Chain A
Amino acid sequence: MIEIRGLLKSFGHNVVLRGVDLEVASGQFLTLVGPNGAGKTTLIRILATLSKATSGTVLVDGFDLADEIIDIRKHVGFVSHQTLLYGDLTPDENLRFYGRMYDVPDLEDRIEVVLQQVGLEGRRHEPVRTFSRGMQQRLAIARAILHRPSVLLLDEPDTGLDQHATEMLHQLLATVGTEGRTVLMTTHNLERGLAMGDRVAILARGRIAYETDKNALDLEGFREVYYRFVGGSMR
């Protein structure tokens, strides 16, 4: 589970996150939406330990981000816009490398399993740079879940994907998300966001403006709420 309290992040004079309070229960899938510049990427990067918060508390699976950062990394998988994959290496070699970096115990079998999960076992021994973007993103997900993290973070994973690839990606995420993981995903796509998550939240102007269970609203209702909160924040 993820607990965020009073999270502040500023870059010099620019305050991006102004006190974020958010909780994602264990096993829940939360979609975070918001306009550009709201701080979605900043927030998720702090959770992924890639960025440091200016102040506030973050607990991931009970571990405090400020002190137990290496423990958190063992339990967190991160998928971002960039694939974090080595283009000249094959999926097999990429996963083997990451598996070693994460001390994955039954690496050989595990690689087999995740490649099958993402539907890439056929291209196992071809260099990643020959893959389409959609395939690379699927492999990125394989990399992210390789070490069996209890928390999965996704930063707009459908960026740059065509309709078909997006469809595949979301199907994949639906299955991956149901393995008992806590998932936090940011996206621009309101429709998908509502469909995928157990809960949705809106991040606007550096704060959580609104949060709800997915069943509480239909798409139209949600769009309305979204534009209400987000409408005036264009800089």
Chain B
Amino acid sequence: MRIGFLHKILAIVHKDIIAELRTKEMFSSMFVFALLVIVIFNFAFELRVANIRQVAPGVLWVTFTFAGILGLNRSFILEKDRGCLEGLLLAPVDRSAIYFGKMLGNLLFMSVVEAIVLPIFWVLFNPPLFSPALIPVIVLGTVGFAGVGTLFSAIAVHTRAREVMLPILLFPIVVPLMIAAVKITGGLLDGQPLAEMRHWLNLLVGFDVIFLAVSYMTFDYVVEE
């Protein structure tokens, strides 16, 4: 029973990957958008801000967030098309499998985009040093974002204002996530050891745990008719 559950989650992720590989629509729009955001910010701040490194962590996370929204939106709009979401609901499996399947897919796509954006960010903002601890921090932040984001995009897709609704719902909720992520990223780029920012890390992890749990528990109510 448990294995079947995991198997179905992976089937959903696999399906999303195949679909995306075929059209590359989501990936390309996310990537282009991220690129635009980072370039524009870089350009705008360089004109005015003396030390651009101060704003770098914020810009990075804003970029990830905006690109992430695009991916989250597309993920469920794809399912609403031709009624595929109903196809998922007909399957003999607990609804949470749909949640985890979609969430993992979103996490994966966001991570791929982030992996490509990060070097570009490095080139443009030229931070003094690289800390490998940055990677798990980005992962944790993305997990939280995708966790709540998947729930909210399922909500948004049932409203009339589909694409607009998601950021309106999501952004206020992920404020603590953003604060923690930007704080830690800034600290790491300044050379602070991760251990000194332990309470921020706790916040990040705490956010992820709480909101993944709540999202998983309430997802059923969102998708059922």
Interface residues of A (CB under 8 A from B): 45, 48-52, 70-71, 73-74, 76, 78, 80, 82-89, 93, 97-98, 100-103, 127, 143
Is the C-beta of B23 less than 8 angstroms from some C-beta in chain A?
A: yes
In whole angstroms, how far apart are the Cα atoms of A89 and B21 in the complex? 10
Interface size counted on chain B using CB atoms at 8 A: 27
Q: Is the CB of B19 within 8 A of A80?
A: no
| Shortest beta-carbon contacts, A-B, top 9 | A82-B83, A84-B87, A100-B11, A73-B92, A101-B91, A74-B92, A97-B15, A88-B19, A70-B92
Q: What is the distance, in angstroms, from B56's C-beta to the closest C-beta of chain A?
A: 37
A227 and B118 alpha carbons, distance in the complex (Å): 69
Question: What residue in chain B is nearest A73 (Cβ atoms)?
Answer: B92
Q: For chain B, what secondary structure do more than half of its interface residues adopt (helix, strand, loop), or is it mixed?
A: helix
Q: Would you call B88 and A101 a contact (CB within 8 A)? A: yes
Contacts of A103 in B (CB 8 A): 4, 92
- Residues of chain A with a CB closer than 8 A to B22's CB: 88-89, 127
Most buried by B among A51, A71, A84, A101: A101
Q: In the assembled complex, which residues on chain B have CB atoms less than 8 Å from the CB atom of A88?
A: 19, 22-23
**From A98, which residue of chain B is reached at the shortest CB distance?**
B87
List chain B residues, Cβ under 8 A from A45. 225
Interface residues of B (CB under 8 A from A): 4, 7-8, 11-12, 14-15, 18-19, 22-23, 78, 81-84, 86-94, 224-225
Q: Which residues of chain A come closer than 8 Å to B8, judged between CB atoms? A: 100-101
**Complex partner residue of A89 from B15, B81, B224, CB under 8 angstroms:** B15
**Given known contacts A88-B19, A89-B15, A97-B15, is B225 in contact with A102 (CB within 8 Å)?**
no
A84–B84 touching, CB < 8 Å: yes
Task: Sample 12 A-B pairs with CB under 8 A, ordered by A number.
Answer: A45-B225, A52-B224, A70-B92, A70-B94, A71-B92, A73-B90, A74-B92, A82-B86, A83-B82, A84-B86, A87-B81, A93-B15
Nearest CB on A from B116, distance (A): 22
Closest Cβ neighbor of A45 among chain B residues: B225
Main secondary structure of the interface of A (DSSP, over half): loop
Closest chain A residue, CB of each to CB of B94: A70
- Which chain A positions have C-beta within 8 A of B90? 48-50, 73, 76, 78, 84
Query: How far does the Cβ of A78 sit from chain B's closest Cβ, in whole Å?
Result: 6
Residues of B within 8 A of A98 (CB): 87, 91
Instruction: Select from chain B the residue with minimum beta-carbon distance to A49.
Output: B90
Known: A70-B92, A80-B83. 15 other contacts (CB 8 A): A50-B90, A70-B93, A70-B94, A73-B91, A74-B92, A78-B90, A83-B82, A83-B83, A85-B87, A86-B82, A86-B84, A97-B14, A101-B12, A101-B91, A103-B4
Contacts of A102 on B, CB cut-off 8 Å? Answer: 91-92
For residue B136, give the distance in angstroms from its CB to the closest CB of chain A: 31
With CB as the reference atom, state the residue of chain B lying closest to A72: B92
In the complex, how many angstroms separate the beta carbon of A32 from the nearest chain B beta carbon? 20
Chain B nearest CB: distance from A79 CB in Å? 11
Are B92 and A50 in contact (CB-based, < 8 A)? no
Partner of A84, one of B23, B83, B94: B83
- Rounded to whole angstroms, the CA-CA distance of A51 and B89 in the bound complex is 10
